[in-house]
Amino acid sequence: MAALSNKSDQEIKDLLDEYGIKHGPVVDTTRPLYEKKLKEAMAKAKVTVTKPSPDRTFYREDQEEVTYVTCQTPVRSEGPSGDGKPYMRSRPEYSERDRVDDKPYSRPEYSERNRVDDKPYSRPEYSERNRVDDKPYSRPEYSEIDRVDDKPYSRSKLEYRERDRVDDKPYSRSKPEYRERDRVDDKLYSRSRPEYSSGRQYIDEPHVYNTPSSSSSYSKPTPVMKSGGVVKKENTTSSGRLIPLWIQFLVFLIVAGFLYFIFTNMESAESSPFNKIQ
Amino acid sequence: MSSTSQKHKEFVAEPMGEKPVNALAGIGEVLGKRLEEKGFDKAYVVLGQFLVLKKDEELFRDWLKDTCGANVKQQGDCYGCLREWCDSFL
C-alpha cells in the first residue's frame, strides 16, 4: 500500500470511510490524525485476517438438575403457612433467581424459574409459583422462587445467593404471629412491614426495634412505628446488625440521660431579665 | 455541584475573543506552549480544530493527545470546556 502521506485528501477520506472511521474534513491540521487512525485500522485489519480468533461464546449451560437440598428442620415454628412462609416478601429488587435447578438461565431478571417440578408457569414478577402449600402471604413482587413442593424449602442453591437460607438465618421479622426467624426455609425477606426493623443495620433509636433477631418472640406485634414508611429490607441474616442492639439501647439511654441532666440543671429563666444591678 | 474547575467556568462564561490557548480548561503552561509551537496560539484556533473535527469527542481527544501530549483528564477538561462554550455561543 502506498504511503498514506502520498495520498490526496480525497483518497484519505475514502479510506476513512472504508474503515468506517468517523471523521471530519481532511485539512492540514486533521490530516496527521487521520493518517494515524488509518494506519492503526490497517494494522488491525491485517492482524485479524491472519489470525482468525475463534469466537466462542461460552455460556454456562447449567444443566444442573434441581438438586434440592431439603432443609427441613425438625423444629420449625410453623407459621401460618405450613411451610412457614408467612411473611410476605416484598423485595422489589430481589431476584431470587437461581434456584437450584437453575437452568442455564440467561435471564435478566427472571424470577425463579426452574422449579423442581418445573411448573411451566411464568409469572411476570413474582415467581413464587408453585408453592405447594400455597402460602398465604402475598408477595407483591417478590420473586421468591419456587418452593419445591412442599418442602419447606428445598433448594440447592447453587448460585443461590439468597442469603438466608435454609438454615434459617436469624432473620427477624416482625410478624406478629410469626415468630420465628428460624424458619426452616427461612427466607430472609424483608417484609414490607413498616415497623419491621429487624435487620436494620443502622441505629434507629427512636424506632422500636421489632425484633432483635435473636428474639423469636415478638413482644410488639403491633407496628409501633412505621419507620420511614415501608422498609423493605430484606435482611439477609438475622444478625445482620452492625452494632448490637444492646449497644444501641445503651447509647440511647445515655443520650436521653444526658439531655435530662442538662434539662434539670438549667437555670430557670428570670422573669425579668432587666433587673437593675444593685 | 458541578465538577468543573474555575478555569472552565470562566472560559464558558463569555465569548473567548482573543484569549490565549492557556485559558482553555485542561491546558496549562506546558501544553499551551506545545500547542503554540504547532501554530495553535489562540483559543479560537483550537476551537477551529474542534469544529473541524465535528465536535466529536474521541477525535478531539486523540488529536489533543497527538498534538500536545495531553493526558486523559486534560483531554476531557478541554473537550468539556469547548463543548460547553459552543453550546452557549455557537
**pLDDT of B24 over the 50 cut:** yes
Q: Is B37 on the interface with A (CB under 8 A)?
A: no
Q: Do A24 and B53 touch (CB under 8 A)?
A: yes
CB-side neighbour CA atoms (13 Å) of A223 = 16
Distance (Å) of CA A264 to CA A51, A256, A258: 84, 12, 10
Mean pLDDT for the stretch of residues A58-87: 55
Contact A30/B56, CB-based, under 8 Å? no
Q: What is the rounded CA–CA span in Å between residue B83 and residue B62?
A: 16
pTM above 0.80, yes or no: no
Residues A90, A232: contact at Cβ < 8 Å? yes
Confidence of residue A79 (pLDDT cuts 50, 70, 90): very low
Q: Taking the CA of residue A147 as centre, how many other CA atoms within 13 Å lie in the half-sphere pointing to its CB?
A: 23
Please give the single-letter amino acid code of residue A77: S
**What are the tens digits of pLDDT across the range B54-66?**
999 999 999 999 9
Bigger pLDDT: A241 or B88?
Answer: B88
Residues A69, A72, A73, A79, Cα dihedral to 10°: 130
Phi and psi dihedrals of A249, rounded to 5?
Answer: -60, -40
Helix, strand, or coil here: A30? coil
% of chain A exceeding 70 in pLDDT: 29
Q: Which chain A residues touch B if contact means CB-CB below 8 Å? A: 22-25, 27, 29-30, 32-33, 36-37
Q: Which residues numbered 44-83 in B keep a CB inside 8 Å of some CB on A?
A: 49, 52-54, 56, 58-59, 62-63, 66
Q: What is the mean pLDDT of chain A?
A: 61
Picking from B53, B54, B61, B67 by the largest number of A CB atoms within 10 A of its own CB, the best residue to mutate is B53
Please report the pLDDT score of residue A239 as a whole number: 61
Burial class, A254, CB count within 10 angstroms (exposed 0-12 / middle 13-18 / buried 19+): exposed
CB contacts, 8 Å: A33 with chain B: 53, 59, 62-63, 66
Suggest the residue from A19, A28, A30 to mutate for an interface test with chain B (most B CBs closer than 10 A): A30
d(CA B89, CA A18): 35
Q: Which long-range contacts (CB under 8 A, 24 or more apart) does B33-39 make?
A: B34/B67, B34/B68, B34/B69, B35/B67, B35/B68, B38/B67, B38/B68
Which of the two residues, B83 and A208, has the higher pLDDT score? B83
- Opening angle at CA A164, ends A161 and A170, nearest 5: 160
The cell numbers describing A263, all together, are 434539662
Which pLDDT belongs to residue A99? 47
Query: What type of residue sits at position A246?
Result: W
- pLDDT value at residue B80: 93
Provide ipTM, 2 decimals. 0.85
Which residues of A fall within a CB distance of 8 Å from B54? 22-24
pLDDT level of residue A242 (50, 70, 90 thresholds): confident
Kindly state the average pLDDT of the residues A127-154.
48
d(CA A77, CA A83): 9
Q: Do B63 and A30 touch (CB under 8 A)?
A: yes
Q: Which residues of A touch B49 (CB under 8 A)?
A: 29-30
pLDDT digit string (tens) for A143-194? 445 444 445 444 444 544 544 444 444 444 444 444 444 444 444 544 444 4
Mean pLDDT of all residues in A252-258: 96
Contact between B62 and A33 using a beta-carbon 8 Å cutoff = yes
Match 502506498 to its residue by C-alpha cell: A2
Per-residue cell: A240? 445482620
